Chain A
Amino acid sequence: MATLELDIAEDVVVSPARRSRKLGLLFWAAIGWLVFVLLVAILAPVLPLPSPTDMDMLERRGPISALHWLGTDALGRDEFARLIFGARISLTVGLFAPIIGLVIGGALGLLAGYFRGRFESFVVGSMDVLLAFPPLILALAVTAYLGQSILNLTCILGVLGIPAFMRVARASTLTLARREFVIAAQALGATHARIIIRELLPNVALPLLAFFLLGVAVTIVVEGALSFLGLGVPPPISSWGSMIGEGRESLEVAPMLAFIPAIAMFLTVLSFNLVGDTLRALTDPRQGAL
């Protein structure tokens, strides 16, 4: 089953000069936004923010004010503080889950691509089985059994990402393993471990990194979907997804409560996609040849 969840879409062959210059500006804007969100999320506890969990029943769905920069939600909690603390959850899951996929999938792909043979068939076969499940449905089912917690969620989403990372690592390794410098190292009598770590890993790392960023974007979306359905992070912790889910309830009276986290999520996912896609285009041998 040729299935890959993340889009490896072919890209354009518009005049390269214009393209790179144009993407350049957007690319740096995306980097800027990501750095900003990451900093704010990391520094959230020390920033002078109202508590994201304190309810104020007198000021429910309050408007934007000096005290509440983005107003308050349906339970009178400060929306701005919740947005920033929500970023912590979304980014924690969004970053750590793909790391699991990156490490395990990357290692499996590297080994499978290098050693080939039965090991490769086994790895590819088992990944095909994992890919036979629509990912969101598998995530839902496993969370249902394991119970909702940030750790469980991260692990599940991480495991779901393994096949895709395995494919990328294996594909790059397969092409690299035939290249002169690897054959030269083999001829010089280098051990397998040395070839894999010194020759292959540095070359596979960049495509994997680009793919990692795209993986972060997908993971944030999937975590958002799970939390939106109330099956992701357990309350009272809220991620962007759960905030959007709660905001949906008051769409008629206070649409901003859904739109604000939605915009934050969209910008973040877009930025990861943009940076990941640019890096992928750079590391793609077909385009690198230009």
Chain B
Amino acid sequence: MLGFVARRLLYLLPVLLAVSLLTFLIASLLPGDLAYVILGDQATPDKVAALRHDMGLDQPIWWRYLGWLGHVLVGDFGRSFRTGQTVLQAVTERLPVSFELMLLAELGALIIGIPLAIACAVRAGSAFDRFVTGTAFSMLSVPAFLSAILLIYFFAVELRWLPATGYVPFSEDPLGNLRCFVLPALTLALGEWPVLMRVLRSDMIATLQEDYIAMARAKGLKPSRILLVHALKPSSLTLVTVTGINIGRLMGGTVIVESIFALPGIGRLLLGSIYTRDLIILQGVVLCVAAGYVLLNFIVDMLYAVLDPRIRHGHA
């Protein structure tokens, strides 16, 4: 187990380094000179040159990268030249919102997906199974911004049950906070559950053919225990991986959903920095998100190992 963790950790470093390099290169090589953006209308060649020199933009690129990386390593991702807020402040301020959204969305997807997957696997090939798998397949073709609009139309415009936009901090009004998250989280969950359902369903079908399931039945266990303990646990390995893999998609979805429902999370920060061309914030947020994504994938790998005793004991 320790060797496994060490190996994965060792692989993590070069990936993180490369991610930082790519983030830096996107920001530095692509057109869109920071000095022009900051100076805006007043940009004269003299002023631009002076600002470029002040900001170190006239130095060789590898030197600038090392300097930037040095700052990043001590937690200094830069500071917005528009609001004066540091990237770290801005990100930590908004992180809880995005986290809550993703957590609720994934939870929602699991709550919808797992029971359906089990029900389908038990009656594989039945009309119910074909209906659910068909629905899941169609749902895969519904992008988040589409389901968001449908949900807003039905629950906010027509029925007026839930707010279409807005945000209340959890500390002020926990229930109101959750109400704000219902539609955004449901939007993301609607895109997630088909993926989870399909994976778990096919794994469950395979598991239900196993000898140890026949054994569990021969032992006279209750059907619920056979399904939920004997079949679900060994079938959930791929589910965990897929849940992890989907975090990347979920992060993309978060941007859209936060924008539609006006939730002050990382996604809105990112979009705002693009709209206002606040390039330092943009660079910092992209780096944070990518690093977070890499780390999350690492955690998912570890979780996988915890679930499967064969990997845990180094038999895989």
| A complexed with B | yes
A residues contacting B by CB (< 8 A) are 1-5, 7, 9-15, 125-126, 128-138, 140-147, 217, 221, 224-225, 228-229, 231, 241, 244-245, 247-248, 251-252, 255, 258-259, 262, 265-266, 269-270, 273-274, 277
B251 / chain A contacts, CB cutoff of 8 Å: 134, 136-137
Q: Among the listed B30, B146, B297, which residue makes an inter-chain contact with A3, where contact means beta carbons less than 8 Å apart?
A: B297
- Is A273's CB under 8 angstroms from B245's CB? no
A4 / chain B contacts, CB cutoff of 8 Å: 245
- Is B252's CB under 8 angstroms from A266's CB? no
B137 CB-CB contact with A under 8 Å: yes
B107 CB-CB contact with A under 8 Å: no
- Of B30, B31, B259, most A-chain CB atoms within 10 Å: B30
Encoded as 1 (CB less than 8 Å from any A CB) or 0, chain B from 243 to 263 comes to 001001101110110011000
- Is B143's CB under 8 angstroms from A140's CB? no
- Is A266's CB under 8 angstroms from B142's CB? yes
- Is A136's CB under 8 angstroms from B202's CB? no
Q: Among the listed A14, A126, A135, A244, which residue makes an inter-chain contact with B146, where contact means beta carbons less than 8 Å apart?
A: A244
Q: How far is the CA of A125 from the CA of B13 in the complex (A)?
A: 12
User: Provided the pairs A3-B248, A137-B252, A229-B256 are in contact, do residues A266 and B146 lie with their beta carbons within 8 angstroms?
Assistant: yes
B72 CB-CB contact with A under 8 Å: no
Q: How far is the CA of A70 from the CA of B253 in the complex (A)?
A: 30
Q: How far is the CA of A126 from the CA of B15 in the complex (A)?
A: 9
B150 / chain A contacts, CB cutoff of 8 Å: 262
- Is A1's CB under 8 angstroms from B137's CB? no
- Of A2, A15, A228, most B-chain CB atoms within 10 Å: A228
A130 nearest CB across to chain B (Å) = 8
Q: How far is the CA of A141 from the CA of B281 in the complex (A)?
A: 11
Q: How far is the CA of A187 from the CA of B133 in the complex (A)?
A: 47
- Is A10's CB under 8 angstroms from B202's CB? yes
Q: How far is the CA of A251 from the CA of B148 in the complex (A)?
A: 12
- Of A10, A135, A144, A228, most B-chain CB atoms within 10 Å: A144
Q: How far is the CA of A39 from the CA of B5 in the complex (A)?
A: 54
B241 CB-CB contact with A under 8 Å: yes
Q: Nearest CB to that of A268 among chain B residues?
A: B141
Q: How far is the CA of A266 from the CA of B124 in the complex (A)?
A: 27
> Can you list 6 pairs linking A and B with CB atoms under 8 Å apart?
A12-B201, A133-B286, A141-B26, A145-B27, A262-B146, A273-B140
**Contacts A132-B19, A262-B146 known; 14 new A-B pairs at CB < 8 A:** A2-B241, A132-B18, A137-B251, A138-B286, A142-B26, A142-B30, A144-B32, A144-B277, A224-B143, A225-B145, A244-B145, A245-B145, A248-B152, A273-B140
- Is A145's CB under 8 angstroms from B157's CB? no
- Is B138's CB under 8 angstroms from A14's CB? no
B109 nearest CB across to chain A (Å) = 14
A245 / chain B contacts, CB cutoff of 8 Å: 145
- Is A140's CB under 8 angstroms from B270's CB? yes
Encoded as 1 (CB less than 8 Å from any A CB) or 0, chain B from 1 to 41 comes to 00000000000001100110010001100111000000000
B152 nearest CB across to chain A (Å) = 6
- Is A270's CB under 8 angstroms from B141's CB? yes
Q: How far is the CA of A252 from the CA of B156 in the complex (A)?
A: 10
Q: Nearest CB to that of A272 among chain B residues?
A: B141
User: Provided the pairs A3-B248, A13-B205, A137-B252 are in contact, do residues A132 and B274 lie with their beta carbons within 8 angstroms?
Assistant: no
- Is A145's CB under 8 angstroms from B252's CB? no
B237 CB-CB contact with A under 8 Å: no
Q: How far is the CA of A126 from the CA of B19 in the complex (A)?
A: 10
- Is B144's CB under 8 angstroms from A225's CB? yes
Q: How far is the CA of A251 from the CA of B149 in the complex (A)?
A: 8
- Is B274's CB under 8 angstroms from A144's CB? yes
A146 / chain B contacts, CB cutoff of 8 Å: 30-32
- Is A145's CB under 8 angstroms from B26's CB? yes
B178 CB-CB contact with A under 8 Å: no
User: Provided the pairs A224-B145, A251-B152 are in contact, do residues A14 and B274 lie with their beta carbons within 8 angstroms?
Assistant: no
User: Provided the pairs A132-B290, A137-B286, A146-B31 are in contact, do residues A12 and B195 lie with their beta carbons within 8 angstroms?
Assistant: no
B134 nearest CB across to chain A (Å) = 9
- Is B260's CB under 8 angstroms from A248's CB? yes
A133 nearest CB across to chain B (Å) = 5
Q: How far is the CA of A241 from the CA of B199 in the complex (A)?
A: 29
- Is B248's CB under 8 angstroms from A134's CB? yes
B90 CB-CB contact with A under 8 Å: no
B176 CB-CB contact with A under 8 Å: no
- Is B198's CB under 8 angstroms from A9's CB? yes
Q: How far is the CA of A128 from the CA of B248 in the complex (A)?
A: 13
Q: Nearest CB to that of A263 among chain B residues?
A: B146
Q: How far is the CA of A133 from the CA of B141 in the complex (A)?
A: 22
B271 CB-CB contact with A under 8 Å: yes
Q: How far is the CA of A206 from the CA of B57 in the complex (A)?
A: 48
B293 CB-CB contact with A under 8 Å: yes
Q: How far is the CA of A159 from the CA of B201 in the complex (A)?
A: 33
A141 / chain B contacts, CB cutoff of 8 Å: 26, 270, 274, 282, 286
A128 / chain B contacts, CB cutoff of 8 Å: 15
B282 / chain A contacts, CB cutoff of 8 Å: 141, 144
B125 CB-CB contact with A under 8 Å: yes
- Is B19's CB under 8 angstroms from A266's CB? no
B112 CB-CB contact with A under 8 Å: no
